[in-house]
Amino acid sequence: MQSLKYLIGYPEHLQAQVRSLIEQDRLGGILRDKYGESHAVRNDRQLYEYTVQMKDRYLRKAEPLARVAYDNRLQMVKHALGTHTTVSRVQGSRLKASREIRIASVFREAPAEFLKMIVVHELAHLKQSEHNKPFYQLCTHMAADYHQLEFDLRLYLTHLECGKPQANPVDESN
Ligand SMILES: [Zn+2]
């Protein structure tokens, strides 16, 4: 049976539904109907502006962002769609923490709502490092339908993965 790595932890009946949509070749169409809107955030400068705009709207008091960038390498790392790091640099005589967000480059081509979802997720990490209740409260504050978006993003990533030619049929899940 095909393992759905982006849906690990979701109930088996849900995974079975998704598998049957894939087998009937319907998942892509369903996602296209629901998330037809693309975005124009093509490069790192635009991504920075997009993220700062959202931050100014919802998390004005959180630390400023030094850098926001698309990252090609992230999509190869399982479950790492975006990262948030605090880079400490010596500035003069004091250490200054500088916040950096990286977004997997798969989001450059993804529907607008999924870019919003991952940016919301990474912004929420400015205040909460764990995926706990306050974290998800921040997420739904910025995007009321956050939970639905995150689930549908997992469907989207599953769909992208299924569309790839199977160069290596060995199950690499571990
Ligand atoms: Zn996270």
Q: How far is the CA of 135 from the centre of ligand 1 (A)?
A: 9
Kindly report, residue by residue over 120-135, the tens digit of the pLDDT. 999 998 898 888 999 9
Kindly report, residue by residue over 25-56, the tens digit of the pLDDT. 999 999 999 999 999 999 999 999 999 999 99
Q: How far is the CA of 128 from the centre of ligand 1 (A)?
A: 9
DSSP conformational letter for 156:
H
Tokens of 52: 């700062």
Q: How far is the CA of 116 from the centre of ligand 1 (A)?
A: 14
From the list 81, 85, 90, the residue with the least C-alpha distance to 100 is: 85
Q: Which is it for strands 94-104 and 65-71: parallel, antiparallel or unpaired?
A: parallel
Q: How far is the CA of 1 from the centre of ligand 1 (A)?
A: 28
Q: Where are the beta strands (DSSP E) in the chain?
A: 65-71, 82-91, 94-104
Q: How far is the CA of 138 from the centre of ligand 1 (A)?
A: 12
DSSP 108-152: HHS-HHHHHHHHHHHHHTTT-SS-SHHHHHHHHHH-TTHHHHHHH
Q: Is the pLDDT of residue 1 over 60?
A: no
Q: How far is the CA of 117 from the centre of ligand 1 (A)?
A: 11
